[in-house]
Structure 1
């Protein structure tokens, strides 16, 4: 009892290859060398923006390659918000709109904080200019999705 093994010879429940795919994600995703997130498809506009930005800065770009979700997660990559808008990394994460350079973009609010000035700020992740950014934004720069 307790030592039942999966096809990868790991204890059942501990194998990332055999684990169910989290809600909102897919079993196979696309990654690029040097990228920090995984994508649903190679046609992702955020992926293309990131490739263009890398070229503008003289960096070498690499073709996206398809990998298992477990590989992308093991590499420490996060989910691309435009590709996986339904994915919530925690039960507390909420979709939101983030004000970035005078435009509202989709984001994911993961935490509220109250400052010494009694104003709220939120820890949010969003995509802009080919990068996925995690930062703290003032309450005036956040709104419900």
Structure 2
């Protein structure tokens, strides 16, 4: 984990997660573990970053376990079957 990794919100961390080896994506600046770049929540985050002049961090392929270890929350849009 890098020191500049954004951490998930408490309500995200408390939600049920997909199985540990489930693949998905994160960015160092994002708080959330997404299924892929096609997620509308991910796309909104990119648009907001551009709008407010924030740095766009590269997408990293990780597993649910790795995302959780990095303090990310799970996306409720991508992983709605785990609500």
Conservation of the 8 A alpha-carbon contact between 2:25 and 2:59 = yes
Conservation of the 8 A alpha-carbon contact between 1:24 and 1:86 = no
TM-superposed CA distance for 1:76, in Å, is: 1.0
Q: For 1:24 and 1:78, how far apart are their aligned partners in 2?
A: 9
Asked which structure has the greater CA Rg, the reply is: 1
Gaps in structure 2 of 5+ consecutive residues: 1-15
- Structure with greater proportional helix content: 2
Conservation of the 8 A alpha-carbon contact between 1:29 and 1:40 = yes
Q: 1:65 maps to what in 2? A: 60
Question: Greater relative contact order (Cα 8 A, min sep 6): structure 1 or 2?
Answer: 2
- Which runs of 4 or more aligned residues in structure 1 lie more than 4 Å from their structure 2 counterparts after TM superposition? none
Q: CA RMSD in A?
A: 1.7
TM-score w.r.t. the length of structure 1 is 0.42
TM-superposed CA distance for 1:82, in Å, is: 0.5
Q: Report the number of matched residues.
A: 66
- Structure with greater proportional strand content: 1
User: Which residue, 39, 48, 52 being the options, matches 2:47?
Assistant: 52
User: Which residue, 58, 75, 81 being the options, matches 2:76?
Assistant: 81
TM-superposed CA distance for 1:81, in Å, is: 0.5
Gaps in structure 1 of 5+ consecutive residues: 1-22, 89-145
Q: 1:34 maps to what in 2? A: 29
Q: Does residue 18 of structure 2 align to residue 25 of structure 1?
A: yes
1:73-112 to structure 2, matched below 5 A, reads 73-88=68-83
